[in-house]
Amino acid sequence: MATMSFKTISLSSSITTTNAARLGELTFSTIPKIIETPAAMLYVRSGVVPDVTYDLIPDNVTRLFEIPLGSLVDSMKNLEHTGSYGSFARITDPIYCPFHDSLVELRPGGSGNLYSSVWTKAGRQELNIERFKKLIKLVQPSVYESMFDGDTPIDKTTEKRLVKDRERSRRFLESSLGDKTILSNAIIPLVGGQDKRHRQIYLNDILSHISNNENNILGVSFEGFHSYGPSTENADLNSLKPIIEETKTKLIDYKNILFTMPLLWRPDNVIHGIDLGLDLFSGAYVAHISDRLIILSFLYNDKMSSNTLGAEYNINSKQYANGKQSLVVDCGCYTCKNYTQAYVYHLIQTKELLSRTLITIHNLYHYHGFFQQIRENLKANTWNDYRIMILKQYAIEQEKKE
């Protein structure tokens, strides 16, 4: 498998010590490119970026594909003859395979002593560790998340369940790390639900694996906090802050370990995530809102003139039937340069799939443009003002909903 490495870049700025925001770089052994972090990935569902073809993906999108493992189980037979998923799907950009799909809610009871399940829209796929390892060998992603239990929904988790969660996740991890053919480029899931003590024990249990395999481990992901799916759009990151901070303190000597966490990353939560020092973000939020005909309209750079649309709006509303402006004024995306709100609204009414394509193009451009601005503001030492500017817009949005 191609190797991928990560390094953090020290900020020249004096971001307050309570803030862990940071910049980093991902590099690859086989592809001459650098991905700057913080970054959002490009979410892929059933082998395609939802509603757009590759040639329509805006240029400012970070081309690191996020392909949940569940969507690949059905392709196992095909992959046996094609080499890797990249060559099968003609993807030359790097691929990250998270164990779960950020868009699909997990149901309880998906794991046993010898297996864990991935969930797809079509249902459950059981993976034992051998099948998991075989899948990773067939897919050959640039980086993958190791199999884990993580079945710890906050209101239903008992002490006994947390112990099982740790034991199984550790066993799955050790089996992955023990296999030299898939050892490189692993992301280690950290489990223990929302229980600080269990999360501590788990981290202590596996810390030696991190130090023994430092060159092969790309990063860690914060798992077990939630059950994935649409409700995570409203996750309260502040409640997780002490747990994440404690973990990061323990890992302070590992400067080049990347931090990631699955979630439907609404832009205000992206800001909170960056403040916690996260580097890599799921891009599934774009698919989530585009499915619901929501348009991202918050101001994310100082070249945009203020509008009355709010942070996000639903284009499927009669008030846009005669909208003569683009989805967002001053937006440089293909949709906004060529079409009006009224046209997109009309396409929705006539059930033309093109409406979804145009919406997705705009949302991808807006979301990834936002991440670009985040990096610029971190570099320019203007992060504090920038984060407040974004949080304000979403605070107003939340008030409207209440």
Positions touching Zn ion (CB under 5 A) are 331, 333, 336, 362
Shortest Å distance, C-beta 335 to Zn ion: 5
DSSP calls for 306-343: P-SS-SEEES-SGGGTT--S-SSTT--SHHHHH--HHH
Q: How far is CA 209 from CA 108, 184, 204, in A?
A: 28, 13, 10
One-letter amino acid identity for 285? Y
Choose among 269, 286, 173, 279: nearest CA to 225: 269
Least distance (Å) between residue 303 CB and Zn ion: 13
Which burial class, exposed, middle or buried, applies to 63 when counting CB atoms under 10 A from its CB (0-12, 13-18, 19+)? middle
CB of 352 to Zn ion, least distance (A): 18
Q: Give whichever of 147 and 296 is closer to Zn ion, judged by the CB atom.
A: 296
How far is 327 from 341, CA to CA, in rounded Å? 5
In the complex, least distance from residue 367 CB atom to Zn ion, rounded to whole angstroms = 11
Which residue number, 264 or 333, has a Cβ lying nearer to Zn ion?
Answer: 333
Residue 313 φ/ψ, nearest 5 degrees: -150, 160
Q: Which of residues 14 and 305 has its CB atom nearest to Zn ion in the complex?
A: 305
How far is CA 224 from each of CA 259, 333, 356, rounded to the nearest angstrom? 15, 36, 32
- Return the structure tokens found at 20: 């862990």
Name the residue nearer to Zn ion (CB basis): 103 or 333: 333
Q: Which is nearer to Zn ion, 8 or 340 (CB)?
A: 340
Nearer to Zn ion, 29 or 338 (CB): 338
- Nearest approach in angstroms of CB 243 to Zn ion is 37
Taking the complex as a whole, how short is the minimal distance between the CB of residue 361 and Zn ion, in angstroms?
Answer: 7
